[in-house]
């Protein structure tokens, strides 16, 4: 009997030990990663459109401005150590166009040296870089010419992108041309809450959408011509749209239309050349665009939440809500890991055979009471999709540290590291240790 109890005790302690093999396990080649963006962490982005935008009262909550942000520009060594501490294999960050090319055709040597140093530090730490070329911000000169609606935009973006490839990112394999084209355009041209601050209707989105498609494709062709071995994609922000429960079947139709327009139209156009979406009574687009097909080597996915969709009589003809009683983050987004599984399955169906990189997934959670569970539940959903054949290559948590969250200012706290904005001290949250343990075990 005594032996039996001892054996039982031994068995229990073995299964409870952290050396037990994980129940949710990832391939040994899986690329664990964290993501940031230049304007949100570096500080001093004085030649950008966002800098100007922030100076106008009402544009950012509590009148905040990005200012010195997290002071990352002056803390490359320290922040590389933060990355090493997490044991990530890859780091997604953006190079700031407004710093590299503050005036059209004039490149800034300090910025070039700076980003080269950042890459050298990453390489020395054994961390693979993934560079985003445009993450919501534009140089002031580019905005003054009309931003993505300017017909010189594709050539200007391609020129900047190849400049970065030749002078900064030589040897970098993974590139994101544009972060979240749909968020960038809808907030800027429809919502009026990001530059250029237009409050147009749905039909008015078409011109900047086409401008951005052409800009991406121009950069893609120019970069691949120089270095065919690199991989280029975009970070698409995918959401789940579900009809609110009820009798009205039109809510379901609308949810499907929004799903097409928001999630797939842009990415599909880069596969086929055909831009196709329609929103009932608002807009219909079905247009072939030359030279943009076959310009994505992988599909980058940012996933955060879902929207419940309901028709309305006022423009734009629909509104969004969060299901009653749902658990939410500090910014009110529903925590919905099943949606991650759903968008991954859908992405694999839309783009058969394409590699998928999770370029962002994260939660605003200042108290850090939900983050570890958020990460685990989303990794579980992603793992399930992978076991069903969805080719996910890596996962970037958003974000390495708290940062300037656009029009929400510094309030939302997405970081694994907590930022004290008075001293710019970084402090690991408990979830940082949890995430790095997951990385080390390759599962949980």
- Active site residues per annotation: 180, 360
From CA 307, how far away is CA 183, in angstroms rounded? 14
**Of 390 and 400, CB closest to ligand FCB:** 400
From CA 402, how far away is CA 195, in angstroms rounded? 22
- Residues listed for the chain: 444
From CA 68, how far away is CA 416, in angstroms rounded? 20
From CA 336, how far away is CA 242, in angstroms rounded? 12
**Of 232 and 285, CB closest to ligand FCB:** 232
371 binds ligand FCB (CB under 6 A): no
- The count of other CB atoms within 10 Å of the CB of residue 241 is 23
CA-angle at 354, arms to 348 and 355, nearest 5°: 95
| Pairing label, strands 392-398, 231-243 | unpaired
**Of 184 and 243, CB closest to ligand FCB:** 184
| 392 strand-pairing partners | 356
33 binds ligand FCB (CB under 6 A): no
**Of 153 and 238, CB closest to ligand FCB:** 238
Interface pattern 97-136 for ligand FCB (x via CB under 6 A): ----------------------------------------
**Of 48 and 179, CB closest to ligand FCB:** 179
Task: Tell me which of 96, 174, 268, 360 binds ligand FCB, using CB under 6 A.
Answer: 360
From CA 307, how far away is CA 29, in angstroms rounded? 33
96 binds ligand FCB (CB under 6 A): no
Least separation in angstroms between residue 239's CB and ligand FCB is: 10
Question: Is residue 69 a contact partner of residue 431, using CB atoms and an 8 Å limit?
Answer: no
Task: Tell me which of 41, 183, 209, 356 binds ligand FCB, using CB under 6 A.
Answer: 183
397 binds ligand FCB (CB under 6 A): no
C-alpha distances in Å from residue 46, one per residue of 53, 101, 105, 439: 11, 12, 17, 37
**Of 183 and 243, CB closest to ligand FCB:** 183
C-alpha distances in Å from residue 252, one per residue of 47, 227, 249, 323, 401: 44, 45, 5, 15, 38
Task: Tell me which of 73, 189, 414, 435 binds ligand FCB, using CB under 6 A.
Answer: 414
**Of 93 and 406, CB closest to ligand FCB:** 406
Least separation in angstroms between residue 69's CB and ligand FCB is: 12
- Judged by CB under 6 A, which stretch of 12-20, 168-176, 178-186, 305-313 contacts ligand FCB? 178-186
**Two tokens, residue 108:** 């800034």
CA-angle at 271, arms to 265 and 273, nearest 5°: 75
426 binds ligand FCB (CB under 6 A): no
Range 219-258, binding ligand FCB (CB under 6 A)? 237
- The count of other CB atoms within 10 Å of the CB of residue 5 is 9
Least separation in angstroms between residue 358's CB and ligand FCB is: 13
**Residue 291 backbone phi and psi in degrees, to 5:** 65, 15
- The count of other CB atoms within 10 Å of the CB of residue 26 is 22
Least separation in angstroms between residue 405's CB and ligand FCB is: 5
406 binds ligand FCB (CB under 6 A): yes
Least separation in angstroms between residue 27's CB and ligand FCB is: 26
From CA 31, how far away is CA 130, in angstroms rounded? 11
398 binds ligand FCB (CB under 6 A): yes
Least separation in angstroms between residue 145's CB and ligand FCB is: 24
Q: How many binding residues for ligand FCB (CB under 6 A)?
A: 11
Cβ burial 410-420 (10 Å sphere, 16+ → b, else e): bebbbbbbbbe
333 binds ligand FCB (CB under 6 A): no
416 binds ligand FCB (CB under 6 A): no
Alpha helices in 260-368, H assignment, sequence order: 265-272, 337-350
- Judged by CB under 6 A, which stretch of 166-174, 177-185, 226-234, 254-262 contacts ligand FCB? 177-185
179 binds ligand FCB (CB under 6 A): yes
307 binds ligand FCB (CB under 6 A): no
Q: Using CB under 6 A, list all residues that contact ligand FCB.
A: 37, 179-180, 183, 237, 302, 360, 398, 405-406, 414
């Amino acid at each position: 009997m005594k032996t039996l109890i001892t054996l039982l005790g031994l068995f229990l302690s073995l299964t409870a030990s952290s050396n037990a093999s994980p129940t949710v396990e990832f391939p040994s080649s899986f690329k664990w990663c964290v993501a940031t963006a230049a304007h949100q962490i570096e500080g001093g982005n004085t030649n950008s459109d966002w800098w100007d935008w922030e100076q106008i009262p009402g544009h950012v909550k509590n009148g905040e401005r990005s200012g010195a942000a997290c002071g990352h520009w002056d803390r490359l060594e320290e922040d590389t150590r933060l990355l090493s501490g997490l044991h990530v294999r890859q780091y997604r960050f953006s190079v700031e166009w407004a710093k590299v090319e503050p005036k059209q055709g004039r490149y800034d040597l300090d910025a070039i040296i700076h980003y080269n140093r950042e890459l050298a530090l990453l390489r020395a730490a054994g961390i693979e870089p993934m560079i985003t070329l445009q993450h919501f911000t534009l140089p002031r000169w580019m905005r003054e010419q009309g931003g993505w609606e300017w017909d010189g935009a594709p050539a200007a973006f391609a020129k900047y992108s190849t400049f970065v490839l030749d002078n900064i990112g030589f040897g970098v394999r993974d590139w994101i041309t544009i972060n979240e084209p749909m968020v960038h355009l809808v907030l800027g041209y429809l919502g009026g809450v990001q530059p250029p601050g237009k409050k147009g209707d749905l039909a008015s989105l078409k011109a900047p959408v086409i401008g951005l498609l052409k800009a991406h494709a121009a950069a893609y062709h120019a970069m691949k011509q120089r270095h065919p071995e690199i991989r280029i994609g975009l970070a698409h922000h995918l959401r789940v749209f579900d009809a609110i429960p009820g009798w009205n079947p039109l809510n379901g139709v609308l949810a499907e239309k929004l799903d097409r327009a928001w999630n797939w139209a842009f990415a599909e156009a880069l596969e086929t050349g055909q831009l196709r979406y329609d929103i009932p009574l608002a807009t219909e687009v079905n247009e072939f665009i030359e030279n943009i097909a076959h310009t994505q080597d992988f599909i980058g996915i940012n996933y955060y939440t879902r929207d419940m969709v309901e028709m309305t009589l006022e423009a734009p003809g629909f509104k969004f809500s969060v299901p009653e009683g749902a658990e939410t983050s500090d910014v009110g987004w529903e925590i919905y890991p099943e949606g991650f599984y759903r968008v991954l399955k859908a992405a694999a169906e839309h783009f058969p055979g394409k590699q998928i990189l999770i370029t962002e997934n994260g939660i605003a959670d200042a108290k850090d009471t939900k983050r570890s569970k958020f990460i685990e539940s989303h990794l579980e959903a992603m793992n399930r999709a992978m076991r069903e054949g969805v080719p996910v290559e890596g996962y970037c948590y958003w974000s390495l540290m708290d940062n300037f969250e656009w029009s929400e200012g510094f309030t939302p706290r997405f970081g694994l590291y907590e930022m004290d904005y008075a001293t710019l001290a970084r402090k690991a949250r408990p979830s940082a240790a949890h995430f790095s343990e997951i990385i080390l075990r390759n599962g949980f």
